[in-house]
Structure 1
C-alpha cells in the first residue's frame, strides 16, 4: 500500500512540474509575440525618422490625431519619433531580460521533470 501511495504522490509531483513547465512555455510564447510587435514598431519608427530627416526645415508635417491631421513642427515630430524609438528599444531590452529569466526557469523545470 505504501508503494502505491508513494507512486501516486510521485505522479502528482510530476504532473505539477509538467504544468509549471507548460505555463512557462506559454509565457515565453507570449513574450515572443509582444517582442515581435515591438520589433515591427521599432522598424516603422526608424523608417519614419529617416523620412523626416530627408525633409527641409520649412516642410509641412502633419500628425494624425483621431480622424484629424494636425500640423506639427518638424523638430517636434523628430523629437517625438526619437522618444518613441527610445521607449520601444527599452521595452525590447526589458523583454529580452524577461525572456532570458523565463528560459532559465524553463531549463531548470525541464531538468526537474526529466529526473
Structure 2
C-alpha cells in the first residue's frame, strides 16, 4: 500500500513540476512583451489578438494587462511551489515509512534464519 502511495506522490510531483514549467514559460513570454513595450513610444500602435481578430489597444492598457498577467502568473508559481514542497514532504515521510517496513522485514527474516 505504501508503495502505491509513494508512486502516486511521484506522479503528482511530476504533474506539478510540469505545470510550473509551463507557468515559467508564460512568465518569460510576458516579460519579453513587457520589455518590448518599454522601448515603444507612447503613441505606438499596439494590437491585441482576440480569436482571429486584431484589435487596436492603447499602450497604457496593454502595459497594465501584461503587468496583471505577470502578477497572476507569479501568484500561481508561488502556489505551485508550495504544493511541490508539500508533495516532497509527503514523499520523505512515505520514504521513511518504507525504510522502516523494509528494516522490520529484514530483522524478521534474520530472526527466522537464526
Fold agreement, TM-score > 0.5: yes
- Equivalence for 1:94: 79
- Equivalence for 2:20: 35
- Equivalence for 1:44: 29
Alignment of 1:85 onto 2:82: no
User: How far apart are the structure 2 equivalents of 1:36 and 1:67?
Assistant: 28
- Equivalence for 2:93: 108
- Equivalence for 2:6: 21
Unaligned runs of 5+ in 1: 1-15
- Equivalence for 2:49: 64
- Displacement of 1:40: 0.4
Unaligned runs of 5+ in 2: 101-114
Q: CA RMSD in A?
A: 0.4
- Equivalence for 2:106: none
- Displacement of 1:103: 0.1
Output the TM-score relative to the length of structure 1. 0.86
- Deviation string for 1:53-87 (max 9, x for gaps)? 11111110000000110000100000000000000
Match of 1:69, SS?
strand
Q: Which runs of structure 1 show a deviation greater than 3 angstroms over 4 or more consecutive aligned residues?
A: none
Match of 2:43, SS?
coil
- Displacement of 1:33: 0.4
- Displacement of 1:114: 1.2
- Deviation string for 1:39-61 (max 9, x for gaps)? 00000000000001111111100
